[in-house]
Amino acid sequence: MCAFLKYSCKFVLVRKRYPMDQTWFNEYKVIKEKFDFSYKGYNIKNLIVGYLNFDYNATPIVRDVFKEFYNSCSFVDLPKAFDTKQNVLITYLIDRTDYRSLALTAQQYYPDSEVVNLSALPLKKISPFGWTFIKHFWFAVWMIYRRGIGKGVMSKLNFIALLIRILNQIKTMERAPVPQQIKRYVSFNSSYKEESLLTMYFNKHNVETITLQHGIFCDFKLMIPFDVINYENCIAQKMLCWGQSTVDFLTQHGFDASRLIVIGNLKYKDFKITSINQNFKKCLVLLGRQLYIGTNDKLLEVLKQYNKKHNNGIVFYIKKHPFVEDSFHAQYADVSSDMIFLGREHSVQEILKSDLVDFSISVNTTAYYESLALGKPCLRWTEEENEEFVGLDDKFENLEQLEDRIEKLRNISQDEILTEVKDVIRYIFNPNL
Protein backbone atom coordinates (compact mmCIF):
# COMPACT_ATOMS: atom_id res chain seq x y z
CA MET A 1 0.00 0.00 0.00
CA CYS A 2 2.84 2.40 0.76
CA ALA A 3 4.29 2.18 -2.74
CA PHE A 4 0.86 2.87 -4.20
CA LEU A 5 0.25 5.90 -2.01
CA LYS A 6 3.69 7.27 -2.68
CA TYR A 7 3.11 7.06 -6.39
CA SER A 8 -0.32 8.67 -6.09
CA CYS A 9 1.20 11.72 -4.38
CA LYS A 10 3.89 12.04 -7.03
CA PHE A 11 1.20 11.74 -9.67
CA VAL A 12 -0.75 14.69 -8.31
CA LEU A 13 2.35 16.90 -8.23
CA VAL A 14 3.12 16.22 -11.90
CA ARG A 15 -0.23 17.70 -12.88
CA LYS A 16 0.93 21.29 -12.33
CA ARG A 17 3.51 21.08 -15.12
CA TYR A 18 0.94 20.89 -17.89
CA PRO A 19 -0.95 23.90 -19.33
CA MET A 20 -4.68 23.29 -19.45
CA ASP A 21 -6.62 24.08 -22.61
CA GLN A 22 -10.16 24.89 -21.45
CA THR A 23 -11.34 26.50 -24.71
CA TRP A 24 -13.92 23.85 -25.57
CA PHE A 25 -15.14 23.50 -21.99
CA ASN A 26 -15.56 27.25 -21.51
CA GLU A 27 -17.64 27.54 -24.69
CA TYR A 28 -19.61 24.47 -23.71
CA LYS A 29 -20.56 26.09 -20.38
CA VAL A 30 -21.63 29.30 -22.11
CA ILE A 31 -23.86 27.44 -24.56
CA LYS A 32 -25.30 25.22 -21.85
CA GLU A 33 -26.29 28.21 -19.72
CA LYS A 34 -27.97 29.87 -22.70
CA PHE A 35 -30.29 26.88 -22.79
CA ASP A 36 -31.20 27.37 -19.12
CA PHE A 37 -34.98 27.50 -19.50
CA SER A 38 -37.81 25.07 -18.88
CA TYR A 39 -40.41 23.49 -21.13
CA LYS A 40 -43.22 21.48 -19.53
CA GLY A 41 -41.10 21.09 -16.38
CA TYR A 42 -37.89 19.97 -18.17
CA ASN A 43 -34.79 22.14 -17.97
CA ILE A 44 -33.47 22.17 -21.52
CA LYS A 45 -29.85 22.82 -20.54
CA ASN A 46 -29.62 19.33 -19.03
CA LEU A 47 -31.07 17.76 -22.17
CA ILE A 48 -28.98 19.66 -24.73
CA VAL A 49 -25.65 18.61 -23.19
CA GLY A 50 -25.43 15.18 -24.80
CA TYR A 51 -25.52 16.77 -28.27
CA LEU A 52 -22.76 19.34 -27.71
CA ASN A 53 -19.78 17.17 -28.76
CA PHE A 54 -18.63 19.30 -31.69
CA ASP A 55 -16.41 22.25 -32.55
CA TYR A 56 -18.45 25.34 -31.73
CA ASN A 57 -16.31 27.51 -34.00
CA ALA A 58 -16.88 25.31 -37.05
CA THR A 59 -19.75 26.15 -39.41
CA PRO A 60 -22.13 23.20 -39.88
CA ILE A 61 -22.45 22.08 -43.49
CA VAL A 62 -25.84 22.07 -45.19
CA ARG A 63 -26.09 18.27 -45.11
CA ASP A 64 -25.65 18.19 -41.32
CA VAL A 65 -28.32 20.83 -40.80
CA PHE A 66 -30.77 18.95 -43.01
CA LYS A 67 -29.97 15.78 -41.07
CA GLU A 68 -30.71 17.54 -37.78
CA PHE A 69 -34.06 18.77 -39.10
CA TYR A 70 -34.85 15.22 -40.25
CA ASN A 71 -33.99 13.92 -36.77
CA SER A 72 -36.36 16.46 -35.27
CA CYS A 73 -39.20 14.63 -37.07
CA SER A 74 -37.94 11.07 -36.55
CA PHE A 75 -36.57 10.00 -33.16
CA VAL A 76 -36.58 7.09 -30.73
CA ASP A 77 -40.07 6.40 -29.35
CA LEU A 78 -39.03 6.36 -25.69
CA PRO A 79 -42.44 5.44 -24.19
CA LYS A 80 -42.03 2.02 -25.85
CA ALA A 81 -39.43 1.33 -23.15
CA PHE A 82 -42.26 1.35 -20.61
CA ASP A 83 -43.68 -1.94 -21.97
CA THR A 84 -42.37 -4.03 -19.10
CA LYS A 85 -43.94 -5.87 -16.19
CA GLN A 86 -40.84 -5.43 -14.03
CA ASN A 87 -40.47 -2.87 -11.24
CA VAL A 88 -37.05 -1.67 -12.39
CA LEU A 89 -36.24 -0.35 -15.86
CA ILE A 90 -32.57 -0.44 -16.90
CA THR A 91 -31.54 1.19 -20.19
CA TYR A 92 -28.49 1.76 -22.36
CA LEU A 93 -28.35 3.89 -25.49
CA ILE A 94 -25.20 3.08 -27.48
CA ASP A 95 -25.31 -0.41 -28.97
CA ARG A 96 -21.89 -1.68 -27.90
CA THR A 97 -21.20 -5.14 -26.51
CA ASP A 98 -19.39 -3.82 -23.44
CA TYR A 99 -22.15 -1.29 -22.72
CA ARG A 100 -24.80 -3.99 -22.99
CA SER A 101 -22.75 -6.22 -20.71
CA LEU A 102 -22.51 -3.53 -18.02
CA ALA A 103 -26.25 -2.85 -18.21
CA LEU A 104 -27.00 -6.56 -17.89
CA THR A 105 -24.73 -6.91 -14.86
CA ALA A 106 -26.85 -4.26 -13.11
CA GLN A 107 -29.53 -6.94 -12.90
CA GLN A 108 -27.36 -8.58 -10.24
CA TYR A 109 -28.18 -5.59 -8.05
CA TYR A 110 -31.77 -5.23 -9.27
CA PRO A 111 -33.08 -8.74 -10.12
CA ASP A 112 -36.67 -7.54 -10.64
CA SER A 113 -35.67 -5.59 -13.73
CA GLU A 114 -35.67 -5.48 -17.50
CA VAL A 115 -32.82 -4.17 -19.66
CA VAL A 116 -33.80 -2.17 -22.74
CA ASN A 117 -31.54 -1.11 -25.60
CA LEU A 118 -32.98 2.31 -26.48
CA SER A 119 -31.36 2.38 -29.91
CA ALA A 120 -33.38 -0.73 -30.84
CA LEU A 121 -36.74 0.89 -30.10
CA PRO A 122 -38.95 1.89 -33.05
CA LEU A 123 -38.86 5.46 -34.29
CA LYS A 124 -41.54 8.03 -33.61
CA LYS A 125 -42.30 10.08 -36.70
CA ILE A 126 -44.15 13.38 -36.76
CA SER A 127 -45.17 15.56 -39.67
CA PRO A 128 -43.13 18.75 -40.28
CA PHE A 129 -46.43 20.31 -41.37
CA GLY A 130 -48.33 19.42 -38.21
CA TRP A 131 -49.28 21.92 -35.53
CA THR A 132 -46.82 20.48 -32.96
CA PHE A 133 -43.82 20.83 -35.25
CA ILE A 134 -44.79 24.32 -36.44
CA LYS A 135 -45.34 25.54 -32.88
CA HIS A 136 -41.99 24.13 -31.76
CA PHE A 137 -40.26 25.54 -34.84
CA TRP A 138 -41.27 29.14 -34.10
CA PHE A 139 -40.58 28.70 -30.37
CA ALA A 140 -37.07 27.39 -31.19
CA VAL A 141 -36.38 30.25 -33.63
CA TRP A 142 -37.43 32.77 -31.02
CA MET A 143 -35.32 31.21 -28.25
CA ILE A 144 -32.16 30.71 -30.36
CA TYR A 145 -32.15 34.28 -31.68
CA ARG A 146 -33.34 35.88 -28.46
CA ARG A 147 -30.58 34.19 -26.45
CA GLY A 148 -27.86 34.63 -29.07
CA ILE A 149 -27.10 30.92 -29.48
CA GLY A 150 -24.89 30.02 -32.46
CA LYS A 151 -22.23 32.06 -34.28
CA GLY A 152 -23.72 32.16 -37.77
CA VAL A 153 -26.85 31.34 -39.73
CA MET A 154 -25.98 27.68 -40.27
CA SER A 155 -25.01 27.25 -36.63
CA LYS A 156 -28.28 28.85 -35.51
CA LEU A 157 -30.27 26.61 -37.86
CA ASN A 158 -28.51 23.57 -36.44
CA PHE A 159 -29.40 24.60 -32.89
CA ILE A 160 -32.97 25.35 -33.94
CA ALA A 161 -33.36 21.86 -35.37
CA LEU A 162 -31.80 20.30 -32.28
CA LEU A 163 -34.10 22.24 -29.96
CA ILE A 164 -37.15 21.23 -32.02
CA ARG A 165 -36.11 17.60 -31.68
CA ILE A 166 -35.88 17.86 -27.90
CA LEU A 167 -39.20 19.69 -27.63
CA ASN A 168 -40.88 17.06 -29.80
CA GLN A 169 -39.42 14.29 -27.66
CA ILE A 170 -40.69 15.96 -24.50
CA LYS A 171 -44.16 16.31 -26.00
CA THR A 172 -44.14 12.62 -26.94
CA MET A 173 -43.13 11.64 -23.40
CA GLU A 174 -45.77 13.82 -21.78
CA ARG A 175 -48.52 12.35 -23.94
CA ALA A 176 -47.69 8.80 -22.84
CA PRO A 177 -49.38 7.31 -19.73
CA VAL A 178 -47.12 7.26 -16.68
CA PRO A 179 -46.00 3.62 -16.14
CA GLN A 180 -47.31 2.77 -12.68
CA GLN A 181 -45.39 -0.51 -12.42
CA ILE A 182 -41.94 1.12 -12.71
CA LYS A 183 -40.66 2.09 -9.26
CA ARG A 184 -37.01 2.65 -10.14
CA TYR A 185 -35.19 3.77 -13.30
CA VAL A 186 -31.51 2.87 -13.85
CA SER A 187 -29.76 4.55 -16.77
CA PHE A 188 -26.41 3.64 -18.25
CA ASN A 189 -25.59 7.37 -18.35
CA SER A 190 -28.07 9.96 -17.09
CA SER A 191 -25.93 12.73 -18.59
CA TYR A 192 -26.44 11.76 -22.21
CA LYS A 193 -29.17 12.34 -24.80
CA GLU A 194 -32.32 10.19 -24.47
CA GLU A 195 -31.29 8.84 -21.08
CA SER A 196 -31.18 12.40 -19.77
CA LEU A 197 -34.76 12.84 -20.91
CA LEU A 198 -35.89 9.57 -19.32
CA THR A 199 -34.14 10.52 -16.08
CA MET A 200 -35.84 13.92 -15.97
CA TYR A 201 -39.18 12.29 -16.84
CA PHE A 202 -38.93 9.84 -13.93
CA ASN A 203 -37.61 12.55 -11.59
CA LYS A 204 -40.68 14.59 -12.46
CA HIS A 205 -42.98 11.65 -11.71
CA ASN A 206 -41.34 10.78 -8.38
CA VAL A 207 -39.68 7.57 -9.51
CA GLU A 208 -36.22 6.91 -8.04
CA THR A 209 -33.50 7.49 -10.65
CA ILE A 210 -30.06 5.90 -10.60
CA THR A 211 -27.18 5.96 -13.06
CA LEU A 212 -24.36 3.50 -13.58
CA GLN A 213 -20.69 4.37 -13.57
CA HIS A 214 -19.19 3.27 -16.88
CA GLY A 215 -15.74 4.86 -16.69
CA ILE A 216 -13.25 6.36 -14.28
CA PHE A 217 -13.84 9.90 -13.07
CA CYS A 218 -10.63 11.88 -13.07
CA ASP A 219 -9.03 15.28 -13.55
CA PHE A 220 -7.57 16.24 -16.92
CA LYS A 221 -4.10 17.50 -17.74
CA LEU A 222 -4.06 18.87 -21.30
CA MET A 223 -7.66 19.61 -22.23
CA ILE A 224 -11.14 18.95 -20.93
CA PRO A 225 -12.92 16.51 -23.27
CA PHE A 226 -16.60 15.79 -23.82
CA ASP A 227 -16.42 13.02 -21.20
CA VAL A 228 -16.64 15.68 -18.50
CA ILE A 229 -20.44 15.69 -18.94
CA ASN A 230 -20.57 12.30 -17.22
CA TYR A 231 -20.35 14.03 -13.85
CA GLU A 232 -20.87 17.69 -14.77
CA ASN A 233 -24.38 16.90 -16.05
CA CYS A 234 -25.27 13.94 -13.84
CA ILE A 235 -28.98 14.44 -13.08
CA ALA A 236 -29.89 11.05 -11.59
CA GLN A 237 -30.71 11.10 -7.90
CA LYS A 238 -28.09 8.42 -7.16
CA MET A 239 -25.07 6.75 -8.76
CA LEU A 240 -23.84 3.19 -8.41
CA CYS A 241 -20.10 3.70 -7.92
CA TRP A 242 -17.25 1.32 -8.62
CA GLY A 243 -15.11 2.23 -5.65
CA GLN A 244 -14.05 4.72 -3.02
CA SER A 245 -12.03 6.60 -5.64
CA THR A 246 -15.30 7.66 -7.29
CA VAL A 247 -16.76 8.88 -4.00
CA ASP A 248 -13.58 10.82 -3.22
CA PHE A 249 -13.51 12.48 -6.63
CA LEU A 250 -17.20 13.36 -6.86
CA THR A 251 -17.50 14.72 -3.33
CA GLN A 252 -14.49 16.94 -4.09
CA HIS A 253 -16.47 18.20 -7.10
CA GLY A 254 -19.61 19.09 -5.18
CA PHE A 255 -21.61 15.86 -5.00
CA ASP A 256 -23.43 15.00 -1.80
CA ALA A 257 -22.05 11.69 -0.52
CA SER A 258 -25.61 10.47 0.11
CA ARG A 259 -26.09 10.24 -3.68
CA LEU A 260 -23.21 7.79 -4.08
CA ILE A 261 -23.58 4.04 -3.53
CA VAL A 262 -20.37 1.98 -3.66
CA ILE A 263 -21.09 -1.47 -5.08
CA GLY A 264 -17.95 -2.19 -7.13
CA ASN A 265 -17.66 -2.73 -10.86
CA LEU A 266 -20.25 -5.47 -11.29
CA LYS A 267 -18.38 -6.99 -14.25
CA TYR A 268 -15.39 -7.70 -11.98
CA LYS A 269 -17.09 -8.03 -8.62
CA ASP A 270 -16.46 -11.79 -8.33
CA PHE A 271 -12.94 -11.86 -9.75
CA LYS A 272 -10.08 -12.80 -7.43
CA ILE A 273 -6.51 -11.72 -8.20
CA THR A 274 -4.32 -14.64 -7.14
CA SER A 275 -1.24 -13.91 -9.25
CA ILE A 276 0.18 -11.39 -11.72
CA ASN A 277 1.48 -12.54 -15.08
CA GLN A 278 5.09 -11.37 -15.53
CA ASN A 279 5.99 -13.01 -18.87
CA PHE A 280 5.70 -9.91 -21.11
CA LYS A 281 5.61 -11.87 -24.37
CA LYS A 282 2.10 -11.19 -25.69
CA CYS A 283 0.64 -7.69 -25.40
CA LEU A 284 -2.84 -6.26 -25.91
CA VAL A 285 -2.49 -2.64 -27.06
CA LEU A 286 -5.56 -0.60 -26.08
CA LEU A 287 -5.57 2.50 -28.26
CA GLY A 288 -7.28 5.74 -27.29
CA ARG A 289 -10.42 7.14 -28.86
CA GLN A 290 -10.66 9.63 -31.74
CA LEU A 291 -9.25 12.45 -29.61
CA TYR A 292 -5.95 10.59 -29.29
CA ILE A 293 -5.31 9.47 -32.89
CA GLY A 294 -1.98 11.33 -33.08
CA THR A 295 -0.52 9.91 -29.90
CA ASN A 296 -1.80 6.43 -30.83
CA ASP A 297 0.37 6.58 -33.95
CA LYS A 298 3.41 7.62 -31.92
CA LEU A 299 2.92 4.67 -29.58
CA LEU A 300 2.64 2.23 -32.48
CA GLU A 301 5.88 3.60 -33.91
CA VAL A 302 7.63 2.96 -30.59
CA LEU A 303 6.29 -0.61 -30.47
CA LYS A 304 7.52 -1.20 -34.00
CA GLN A 305 10.96 0.07 -32.98
CA TYR A 306 10.93 -2.20 -29.92
CA ASN A 307 10.39 -5.33 -31.99
CA LYS A 308 12.96 -4.25 -34.54
CA LYS A 309 15.51 -3.86 -31.75
CA HIS A 310 14.52 -7.01 -29.84
CA ASN A 311 13.95 -9.41 -32.76
CA ASN A 312 10.17 -9.45 -32.38
CA GLY A 313 10.41 -10.20 -28.68
CA ILE A 314 6.73 -9.34 -28.11
CA VAL A 315 3.62 -10.03 -30.18
CA PHE A 316 1.49 -6.85 -30.12
CA TYR A 317 -2.23 -7.43 -30.56
CA ILE A 318 -3.71 -4.01 -31.30
CA LYS A 319 -7.31 -3.12 -30.48
CA LYS A 320 -8.78 0.17 -31.62
CA HIS A 321 -11.34 2.09 -29.64
CA PRO A 322 -14.85 1.19 -30.89
CA PHE A 323 -15.45 4.76 -32.08
CA VAL A 324 -12.27 4.95 -34.21
CA GLU A 325 -12.72 4.24 -37.92
CA ASP A 326 -10.97 1.27 -39.51
CA SER A 327 -8.85 3.47 -41.79
CA PHE A 328 -6.88 4.97 -38.88
CA HIS A 329 -3.56 3.31 -37.92
CA ALA A 330 -3.84 0.80 -40.78
CA GLN A 331 -0.25 1.54 -41.84
CA TYR A 332 1.04 -0.21 -38.71
CA ALA A 333 -0.57 -3.57 -39.47
CA ASP A 334 2.48 -5.75 -40.12
CA VAL A 335 2.58 -9.48 -39.40
CA SER A 336 6.35 -9.59 -40.02
CA SER A 337 6.79 -7.13 -37.12
CA ASP A 338 4.25 -8.99 -34.95
CA MET A 339 1.87 -5.99 -35.08
CA ILE A 340 -1.55 -7.62 -35.43
CA PHE A 341 -4.86 -5.74 -35.37
CA LEU A 342 -7.86 -7.38 -33.70
CA GLY A 343 -11.45 -6.99 -34.88
CA ARG A 344 -14.40 -5.56 -33.00
CA GLU A 345 -16.16 -8.89 -32.45
CA HIS A 346 -14.36 -9.65 -29.17
CA SER A 347 -14.55 -7.45 -26.09
CA VAL A 348 -11.54 -6.25 -24.13
CA GLN A 349 -12.58 -8.45 -21.21
CA GLU A 350 -12.79 -11.55 -23.43
CA ILE A 351 -9.28 -10.97 -24.76
CA LEU A 352 -7.77 -10.22 -21.36
CA LYS A 353 -9.35 -13.35 -19.85
CA SER A 354 -7.87 -15.51 -22.59
CA ASP A 355 -4.33 -16.82 -23.01
CA LEU A 356 -3.85 -14.67 -26.10
CA VAL A 357 -2.09 -11.95 -24.08
CA ASP A 358 -0.12 -11.75 -20.83
CA PHE A 359 0.07 -7.96 -20.40
CA SER A 360 -1.29 -4.78 -21.98
CA ILE A 361 -0.52 -1.18 -22.90
CA SER A 362 -3.19 1.52 -22.68
CA VAL A 363 -3.70 5.02 -24.07
CA ASN A 364 -5.97 7.22 -21.94
CA THR A 365 -8.48 4.44 -21.25
CA THR A 366 -9.98 2.92 -18.12
CA ALA A 367 -9.36 -0.50 -19.65
CA TYR A 368 -6.07 -0.05 -17.75
CA TYR A 369 -7.91 -1.19 -14.64
CA GLU A 370 -9.64 -4.06 -16.40
CA SER A 371 -6.24 -5.49 -17.26
CA LEU A 372 -4.98 -5.17 -13.69
CA ALA A 373 -8.19 -6.70 -12.32
CA LEU A 374 -7.59 -9.78 -14.46
CA GLY A 375 -4.04 -10.21 -13.21
CA LYS A 376 -2.27 -8.80 -16.24
CA PRO A 377 0.06 -5.79 -15.86
CA CYS A 378 -0.73 -2.74 -17.95
CA LEU A 379 1.76 -0.08 -19.01
CA ARG A 380 0.49 3.44 -19.69
CA TRP A 381 1.57 5.45 -22.73
CA THR A 382 1.86 9.05 -21.52
CA GLU A 383 3.28 11.02 -24.46
CA GLU A 384 -0.01 12.96 -24.48
CA GLU A 385 -1.52 11.74 -21.25
CA ASN A 386 -4.68 13.68 -20.55
CA GLU A 387 -6.46 11.73 -17.85
CA GLU A 388 -5.25 11.57 -14.26
CA PHE A 389 -5.51 7.85 -13.38
CA VAL A 390 -4.32 6.54 -10.04
CA GLY A 391 -2.10 3.52 -10.61
CA LEU A 392 1.29 1.83 -10.42
CA ASP A 393 4.68 3.14 -11.51
CA ASP A 394 4.08 1.91 -15.06
CA LYS A 395 4.19 4.97 -17.35
CA PHE A 396 6.39 5.44 -20.42
CA GLU A 397 6.64 7.84 -23.35
CA ASN A 398 9.57 6.52 -25.41
CA LEU A 399 11.39 3.31 -26.30
CA GLU A 400 13.94 3.51 -23.49
CA GLN A 401 11.25 3.95 -20.84
CA LEU A 402 9.26 1.05 -22.29
CA GLU A 403 12.28 -1.22 -21.99
CA ASP A 404 12.88 -0.03 -18.43
CA ARG A 405 9.26 -0.59 -17.31
CA ILE A 406 9.14 -4.10 -18.78
CA GLU A 407 12.44 -5.04 -17.16
CA LYS A 408 11.41 -3.76 -13.73
CA LEU A 409 7.99 -5.41 -13.80
CA ARG A 410 9.51 -8.69 -14.95
CA ASN A 411 11.88 -8.72 -11.98
CA ILE A 412 9.75 -7.32 -9.16
CA SER A 413 8.72 -9.95 -6.62
CA GLN A 414 5.33 -11.58 -7.13
CA ASP A 415 4.24 -10.64 -3.60
CA GLU A 416 5.10 -6.97 -4.08
CA ILE A 417 3.37 -6.49 -7.43
CA LEU A 418 0.34 -8.51 -6.30
CA THR A 419 -0.06 -6.32 -3.23
CA GLU A 420 0.19 -3.09 -5.23
CA VAL A 421 -2.24 -4.25 -7.91
CA LYS A 422 -4.78 -5.34 -5.30
CA ASP A 423 -4.51 -1.98 -3.52
CA VAL A 424 -5.23 -0.11 -6.74
CA ILE A 425 -8.14 -2.32 -7.82
CA ARG A 426 -9.66 -2.32 -4.35
CA TYR A 427 -9.66 1.50 -4.34
CA ILE A 428 -10.87 1.90 -7.93
CA PHE A 429 -13.54 -0.72 -8.49
CA ASN A 430 -13.62 -3.73 -6.26
CA PRO A 431 -13.85 -2.67 -2.62
CA ASN A 432 -14.45 -6.27 -1.47
CA LEU A 433 -11.31 -7.69 -3.13
pLDDT one-digit tens code per residue, 237-273: 999 999 999 999 999 999 999 999 999 888 887 778 8
Amino acid at 224: I
- Asked whether residue 431 carries a pLDDT value surpassing 90, the answer given is no
Q: What is the pTM of this model?
A: 0.85
Contacts of 405 (CB under 8 A, 6+ apart): 379, 394, 395, 396
Contact 101/347 with Cβ under 8 angstroms? yes
Is the pLDDT confidence value at 117 over 80?
Answer: yes
Confirm if 72 and 161 have CB atoms less than 8 A apart.
yes
* Cα angle for residues 295, 299, 300 (degrees, 5° grid): 115
State the pLDDT confidence band at 324, using cuts at 50, 70 and 90.
confident
Where residue 15 falls among pLDDT bands split at 50, 70, 90? very low
Cα 383 from chain centre: 21
Domains of the chain (ranges; CATH) run 18-262 (3.40.50), 282-428 (3.40.50.2000)
**What is the tens place of the pLDDT at every residue in 153-189?**
999 999 999 999 999 999 999 999 999 999 999 999 9
Percentage above 70 pLDDT, the chain: 94
Whether the pLDDT of residue 11 is over 70: the answer is: no
DSSP codes joined into one string, 369-419: HHHHHTT--EEEE-TT--B-----S-EESSHHHHHHHHHHHHHS-HHHHHH
Q: How confident is the model at residue 3 (pLDDT cuts 50, 70, 90)?
A: very low
